[in-house]
Structure 1
Amino acid sequence: MKTRRTFLKQAAMGATAISLPTVPVFGNLSPLNFPEMKAPKISLAQWSLHRALEKGNLLAIDFANISKDTYGIEAVEYVNQFYVDHATDEGFWNTMKGRADDSGVKSLLIMVDNEGDLGNPKDNERKKAVENHYKWIHAAKILGCHSIRVNAFGQGTKAELKQPLISGLGALAEYGAMEKMNVLIENHGLHTSDGKYITDIIKAVDNPYLGTLPDFGNWCLNKEWGSTQNNTCNQVYDRYQGLTEFLPYAKGVSAKSYDFDTAGNETIMDYDRLLQIVKDSSFDGYIGIEFEGEHINEPEGIRATKALIERIWKELN
């Protein structure tokens, strides 16, 4: 299976202009106090369709329309790797904003990869990585997103990485604050999947614009990107503990899925338990479908994940 790091971008796109809306800001550094979410608000992560986009069977510029028209999902999470050639093209992002508005689709965030290590121990390279993310903050602002998602990577032990990560993530969060854009850390393997370690860094940065995007699946501690697909990881952080630790700082939740049994349940993760944790936290953001399985096709995986979330949510206390 291809990872985001090895993904080769492919998209055909155009550009027109449209006015820029006011951008909402979500969440505080302290635990969130939302009213109980009566029904799940579901979004679609673009990575769920990465194979079709890579092959050119779908066009990245059409993502909002595809989400609404094909899956009935009215909120989306973009992946920067599909738009690298247009990163600084404001006209293009205005076109994307117009398409989403015309479809009645809300743009939530951009997942940002391959822009350098925010925990690089070398000051100049860490500074460059921070600045590499600025263009995605600007794109996200045009789209009307509330956040970008970043990776807290860097070379070294946890102890060696702590100060560089505080510095890099802190600097990016400061820039995000100026643009009223949240910076979210996702558990993506290695030290980033250590819930206590990452939340300690968030507390040290102490900026309400730095938060989390907990992923149900990426809790492998000895593999970059953190996938637990096929149960091949032999050092997994307790996903239920990690989700609980991340949720007080979460501005989104990523509902990773790999495969389903004949009853429609995810075969590796206990979705009942995961969604109960989300519901008990009074989290009121979007739960984003991120299907990453290999045994069924992408449309089937997206629909199966959506049906699973909706079914379980109705059964929860």
Structure 2
Amino acid sequence: MRRRDFLAISVAAAACTGARDVEPHNRFPTGARERLSVSTYPFRKLIISRRNVTGRMTLKQFAETVKPKLNVPGIEPWSHHFESTGPDYVRGLGEHFEQAGLHVVNIPVDMPAKLCGTSEERTAALAMYREWVDAAVILKSPSIRVHLPRGENPGSIACSVSALRELAAYGASKNIVINVENDVPTIEQPERIVEIIKAVNSPFLRALPDFCNSMLVHNDHEYNYRAMDMLFPLAFNISHVKDEESGDHGEVYRVDVNRIFGIAGKTGYRGYFSMEWEGQGDDPYEGCRQLIEASLHNLESDVPAR
């Protein structure tokens, strides 16, 4: 097909979709190791941030350690590890990642935001998130991760749907997916995430399944696995791999990583897996190495769901 004919067909197809968002256009690798990434969150005691001014290294310096110590090509930089969202800084950061042999798979944004606050607070929150979408464009990241809003009446999702629909529309204009994670157990239960994503009905609002976080909701392994069954069909590009998580009072929750990889495979998920080690011990590099080995074992053997 000639390029001119292809463009004509594409324009016609876009017109037929009306108000519906087009699908995100991203290609993901198929090799096991190429699908792996490391989150900078497990290294928050080592990396300098607004919360940790006494850290030993900058985000750029950490990036230089990823290939030699972990041998994965992906990095998932946490928002608190950025010095700025200014274009010049972000552009320089992206160049540094490329020089280190890394590409960005997602940006978890944990900045204060009141999408369900006053009109002024909502406007400010959306403006802040748009800055991170723009940063994702510069870094060639396929997505950012945001939190579901607080402050609604119990059981109501109207405000969340309205705010996230607006944010997803901005993401769609930049080909950046907005991910929602089963993270905060009091507001980001998997059922609520699914309900909101389906209500927004945009291919640019997707789920980010975290392997272990839903253990914090009910301390129930079967519930956690059902959460994965709910979220992986709605995931696009990113999932967080961990084998354990700690509660607020010292509890330790563990999950069967092999079983969850089986669920991901059963649902046809083809995106990245990012190591977000939260285990016992003081060496996040070693913890992430163990998760990487478990991930490779599953991806290379294509373990079926049990």
TM-score range, shorter chain: 0.7 to 0.9
Gap runs ≥5 in structure 2: 1-22, 246-251
In the alignment, what sits opposite 2:228? 243
Choose from 76, 83, 86 the match for 2:84: 86
Write out the 4+ residue segments of structure 1 that deviate beyond 4 Å after TM superposition: 34-38, 233-237
Choose from 108, 118, 124 the match for 1:122: 118
**Matched AA of 2:69:** T
Secondary structure of the structure 1 residue equivalent to 2:42: helix
**Matched AA of 1:77:** E
Q: CA deviation at 1:191?
A: 4.7
Larger radius of gyration: 2
Task: Tell me the distance in 2 between the aligned counterparts of 1:284 and 1:192.
Answer: 27
Is 1:104 paired with 2:101? yes
Gap runs ≥5 in structure 1: 1-23, 28-33, 223-232, 260-265
Q: Which region of structure 1 is more displaced relative to structure 2, 136-145 or 35-44? A: 35-44
* Cα pair 1:219 1:237 within 8 Å, conserved: no
Task: Tell me the distance in 2 between the aligned counterparts of 1:182 and 1:36.
Answer: 18
In the alignment, what sits opposite 1:305? 291
In the alignment, what sits opposite 1:137? 133
In the alignment, what sits opposite 2:200? 205
* Cα pair 1:35 1:282 within 8 Å, conserved: no
Q: CA deviation at 1:52?
A: 1.1
Q: Deviations over 1:107-131 (max 9, x none)?
A: 111110123133x253332232122
* Cα pair 1:220 1:236 within 8 Å, conserved: yes
In the alignment, what sits opposite 1:149? 145
Task: Tell me the distance in 2 between the aligned counterparts of 1:102 and 1:169.
Answer: 34
Task: Tell me the distance in 2 between the aligned counterparts of 1:64 and 1:143.
Answer: 14
Task: Tell me the distance in 1 between the aligned counterparts of 2:163 and 2:79.
Answer: 20
* Cα pair 2:150 2:187 within 8 Å, conserved: no
Secondary structure of the structure 1 residue equivalent to 2:77: strand
Choose from 158, 161, 164 the match for 1:166: 161
* Cα pair 2:233 2:268 within 8 Å, conserved: no
Q: Deviations over 1:28-63 (max 9, x none)?
A: xxxxxx999563611111112111114422221233
Task: Tell me the distance in 2 between the aligned counterparts of 1:312 and 1:35.
Answer: 18
Task: Tell me the distance in 2 between the aligned counterparts of 1:56 and 1:67.
Answer: 17
Q: Deviations over 1:38-93 (max 9, x none)?
A: 6361111111211111442222123332222221110111111111x412x21111
Secondary structure of the structure 2 residue equivalent to 1:133: helix
**Matched AA of 2:97:** A
Paired residues, number: 268
RMSD over aligned CA atoms reads 2.7
Q: Which region of structure 1 is more displaced relative to structure 2, 240-249 or 61-70? A: 61-70
